[in-house]
Amino acid sequence: MKTHEIRNRFTQHFVNAGHEAVPSASLILDDPNLLFVNAGMVPFKPYFLGQQNPPFANGTATSIQKCVRTLDIEEVGITTRHNTFFQMAGNFSFGQYFKEGAITLAWGLLTNSVEEGGFGLDPERLWVTVYLDDDEAADIWHEKIGVPRERIQRLGMEDNYWSMGIPGPCGPCSEIYYDRGPEYGKEGGPVADDNRYMEIWNLVFMQNERGEGIGKGNFEILGPLPKKNIDTGMGVERVACILQGVENVYETDLLRPVIDVAEQLTGARYTEDADPQDLIRFRVVADHSRTGMMLILDGVTPSNEGRGYILRRLLRRIIRSARLLGAKDATMSKFMNSIMDTMEPSYPEIGENRERILRVAVAEEKAFLKTLESGTKLFDDAVAGLKSAAAKKLTGDKAFELHDTYGFPIDLTLEMAAEAGLEVDMEGFNAAMGEQRRRAKADNQAKKHGHVDQSIYREWLDNHPTEFTGFDTLESDAKVLGLVRDGQKVTDVQVGDEVEVILDRTPLYAEAGGQLADRGRIVAGDTLLEVGDVQKIGKQLWVHKAKVTAGGLDLGSTVSAEVDPRWRHGAVQAHSATHLIHAALRQVLGPTAVQAGSLNRPGYLRFDFNYTEQLTPAQLEEIALITNQAVDAHFDVNTIETTLDHAKDMGAMALFGENYGSEVRVVEIGGPFSIELCGGTHVANSAEIGPVSVLGESSVGSGARRIEAYSGMDAFRYYSKEAALIEGVSRELKVQPEDLPERIANLTEKLRAAEKEIAQLRKAQLMAGVGELLNQAQDVSGFRVLTAALPEGATGGDLRTVATDLRNRVKDEPAVILLTARDGAKLPFIVAATKPAIERGVKAGDLVKRFGEYVEGRGGGKPDMAQGSGSHPDGAQQGFQAIKDLLETL
């Protein structure tokens, strides 16, 4: 049974049982504790936490959620059942059915025949575990379902008690295992061998509230929840592994095609008798290709921190694994195309993002291949140092430095060390790696915290969602439904109080979608509250953060909520300009340039987009031109309330990481020119935006760029300032503005010529004194040694030129030349050694390091020439003497 059919059967089974099918959320959610969605229940947390009432008609739901877990990336391919990306099929009950309902539904799907819509698993091969004292679940399994007592095993909190790892809902769970047969391990059920007995489904009976604590079992259970809920998770990949009769989750119909491609590209073979390390590498390629592709699909781009770092690490593990398998050329494009082909039937959005995904992945591959080149050079330098010292083992610290600082993989270090006849201190490397992981885990734990207590808003969320009137008006009469001061509900507020105000209706826009919240005021008679921010709770409750500047306000009062018209005017100009720039960008760069975030405030916007190359001045100019042509075209701005499916059919663009409801708002500017899903406020006609001045674009991470621009009067002021600047330069250079580029180019050319001439004169002056310098050389134990400081202003290049000339003049003698030059607070220096000196044991690199100790500097190079730079010029004379003392010992 193909994986796509497994997904469809799961969903249909629970829809038939009255559950509402909920689409998978993005892998990226606004959750302070998660880099990625890592469990099927994550999008439902507000309902389990009691912050919101579930919006499902029957109080039940089902979903197949995209998940990513990367805590133990190094374990991928070693076990038979772990993927970094996986699909968690789940059914959820919010106070409807409980243990018996969850158990019955799960058992039915697993054991019903294929003809009946089930998976047709043999009931005799299914085992279950329950929590130690959960007699209720054990009795249901035995008495209602008919599972023999000997196939029901009890486990403790570490295994069969669930929580989110922080204070919140928790409860015992029951796990379902499939016996894969004696060829996979010993008998005795899951407690005896969790390889033979593969866990396929976890049923969580969410009935309690946990307190503070660390770990899976070290916390207090505070008491029962108001409602008993169900959260289950069936591993789609694990069920596919069983139904398809393959050895592990890497060989299912979704991932095996990538392994086949890897065989073609590397020449290695994925067979039972293959090297175990090669098998792991094949699985890493398959697993990480899918995870990387899905992360890019949801808007992640490679970087050195956060989500981007995880993606970069995954992609680089693919590249190095393929390389170790024997790949010589680039592989990423073929891996990505293969996994997109297998995944697209379940995720059709892959099709429209295929080119962008390839662009990001291939760009990272190119960057990493360059890193491998530089890492190889650093490795070679380290090996040369070892051999010169007659050592046979690369230190763990050096191996870790190559891995951590330069991104050079440890497995490549091991392979290359073996080729060089060296060992690697893996104990030291593992100790350094372990210390890094401990720091990372401690940092991660420090950042975790309990969910912000939003229960204070629950009454209004459930009964009085805010009516937003701001699309049509800037002023609305409203009733004060709630007042919150210092985190507590109050019945009145006075002058000076900072307060959160809940109104039944409001024209003030709450911050969302990159558009900052409106500024405004709340007025009632002599009472005035200045509103500085508006935030949404649960996407349906507007919370006005205000300060009482006059009078007082009571709960239940009737007030007038008013938007600052100047603020709104500037905000809508910037927001609508953002849509125009997005449309212009896609016209110039193509569909692979997709929005990755934005910020709009009155008169200013920034627009982030996924793109791997710097824009040329011509491209940026064309984007600005198309944007302002759209302004000049007087396009009408239309908004349409429709279904999500219809909006997609219209071609409306959606933002990555956003989870849209079934009803959405489409903003259309100029018909097909710009169509986007957007809940923000906009101008009525593009002409109202006024001029848009594109300031420039820049990189904000690997594969991510940013355009910044002014709109309206801010754009006009910017242009005026630029015009004044051009006028001033034109007047100073005595040319017309249109002749400035040519005039500046001529001046620049003359300046470069003058600088070149000065440099040549300085070099000639230096070279004229070379013969005089040699007269200063001293004899040190048979070495001809010259230590000298060149005139101030000499550069590092001058040092190399003079040192090379001096060495050539005394090449037949054992000679050492040490030169310095003063460059402000810096002291560049160089050491050159002749061949006879090298034969007597001199190494320029060693002398540079010794000299660097006295001038607070460092450097390196080859035995015949090495350079460095220091920050303590006053130590030069001591350094000169130290070099002479060292030569006396040779």
Q: Residues comprising the binding site?
A: 575, 579, 678, 682
Q: How far apart are CA 421 and CA 393, in angstroms?
A: 9
Return the sign of the alpha-carbon dihedral for residues 717, 718, 719, 723.
Answer: positive
Cβ-based neighbours of 211, under 8 Å, separated by 6 or more: 167, 219, 220, 221, 222
Count of helix runs (H) and strand runs (E) in the chain: 25, 35
Strand order in the sheet with 783-789: 778-780, 783-789, 815-820, 827-833, 865-870, 857-861
Which regions of 585-703 does DSSP assign to beta strands (E)?
594-601, 604-610, 637-643, 663-669, 674-677, 692-701
Q: How far is CA 489 from the centre of its chain?
A: 38
Q: How far is CA 705 from the centre of its chain?
A: 14
Q: How far apart are CA 531 and CA 538, in angstroms?
A: 20
DSSP codes of every residue in 49-113: TTSS----TTSEEEEEEEEE--TTGGGTTTSSS--SEEEEEEEEEESS--HHHHHHHHHHHHHS-
Q: How far apart are CA 162 and CA 221, in angstroms?
A: 12
Within a 10 A sphere around the Cβ of 639, how many other Cβ atoms?
A: 14
* The residue to which tokens 């033979």 are assigned: 196
Could you tell me whether strands 498-503 and 475-485 are parallel, antiparallel, or unpaired per DSSP bridges? antiparallel
Q: How far apart are CA 475 and CA 520, in angstroms?
A: 10
Cβ-based neighbours of 658, under 8 Å, separated by 6 or more: 26, 513, 677
Q: Which residues contribute to the annotated binding site for Zn(2+)?
A: 575, 579, 678, 682
Helix (H, G, I), strand (E, B) or coil at 640: strand
Specify burial of residue 799 (Cβ count, 10 A radius: 0-12, 13-18, 19+). buried
Within a 10 A sphere around the Cβ of 451, how many other Cβ atoms?
A: 16
Q: How far apart are CA 288 and CA 785, in angstroms?
A: 58
Burial code (b: 16+ CB inside 10 Å, e: under 16) for 159-169 equals: bbbbbbbebbb
* The residue to which tokens 């297998």 are assigned: 342
Q: How far is CA 725 from CA 63, 718, 729, in A?
A: 59, 11, 6
> Pick from 688, 677, 681, 686: which is nearest to 469 by CA?
681
Within a 10 A sphere around the Cβ of 565, how many other Cβ atoms?
A: 11
Contact assessment for residue 621 and residue 597, using Cβ atoms and an 8 Å cutoff: no
